[in-house]
Amino acid sequence: MEKFEKLTGIAAPMPLVNIDTDMIIPKVFLKTIKRSGLGVNLFDEMRYDRQGNEIPDFVLNKPQYRDTQILVAGDNFGCGSSREHAPWAIADFGIKCVISTSFADIFYNNCFKNGILPIVMPQEVVDVLMKDAEKGSNARMVVDLEAQTVTTSDGESFPFEVDAFKKHCLLEGLDDIGLTMAHVKDIDAFEATMAQARPWV
């Protein structure tokens, strides 16, 4: 998993509340177990019409937001079913940070496991960030995980809280497999000891 340290990028405003995982990635795309290739179908039913053509008014279809890396969203983002394909699609699109007033618990935890930083901010702060995001590609936000701050294009900085262990994992680029592999020497030593003590197993 790629390390997350400091991100400077375009932020897209998506003020809708209760954006659920089926809106993020519709169930028809859940047949794959690959993490790649889902970005094209992120927010599929909002991005495309029934003929598969892009809907120009949808924020991520606008030229200034096609390279979005930060999403400023409405309350209760990621609610609904617990599909891990939702953060897969977000990450594959290129979004590395989602900011909202609240997240569904399972989605929130799945983000960290897939290299995405979900940030919870008070409504008044999200309102400021949403307005900054509306400026388009000329306005770049800075998300500093080490310092735990989000800075607007105008230089206004806001602190955020994040669990110390989850922060460590993002900074070091460690998912669940990476955390396990960090102890590979201990695992190998244990297996060697067990093989001698119980050769019949």
Question: What domains, with CATH codes, occur in the chain?
Answer: 6-197 (3.20.19.10)
The pLDDT of residue 159 is: 98
The pLDDT of residue 187 is: 74
Token representation of residue 167: 């922060």
Separate counts of helices (H) and strands (E) for the chain:
8, 7
Give yes or no for a contact between 158 and 123, defined as CB atoms under 8 angstroms apart. no
Report the alpha-carbon distance of residue 100 to residue 79 in Å, rounded.
12
Nearest to residue 97, comparing CAs of 154, 156, 143, 165? 143
Q: How confident is the model at residue 182 (pLDDT cuts 50, 70, 90)?
A: low
Q: What b/e readout covers 87-97, taking b as 16+ CB neighbours within 10 angstroms? A: bbbbbbbebbb
Nearest to residue 79, comparing CAs of 35, 119, 22? 22
Nearest to residue 65, comparing CAs of 118, 150, 134, 151? 134
DSSP state of 82: -
pLDDT in tens, 95-108: 999 999 999 999 99
Report the alpha-carbon distance of residue 124 to residue 102 in Å, rounded.
13
pLDDT in tens, 22-77: 999 999 898 887 778 899 999 999 999 999 999 999 999 999 999 999 999 999 99
Averaged confidence pLDDT in the chain: 92
Report the alpha-carbon distance of residue 108 to residue 161 in Å, rounded.
14
Answer positive or negative: Cα dihedral of 21, 25, 26, 32: negative
The pLDDT of residue 195 is: 75
Cα(first)–Cα(last) distance of the chain, in Å?
Answer: 34
Q: How confident is the model at residue 177 (pLDDT cuts 50, 70, 90)?
A: low
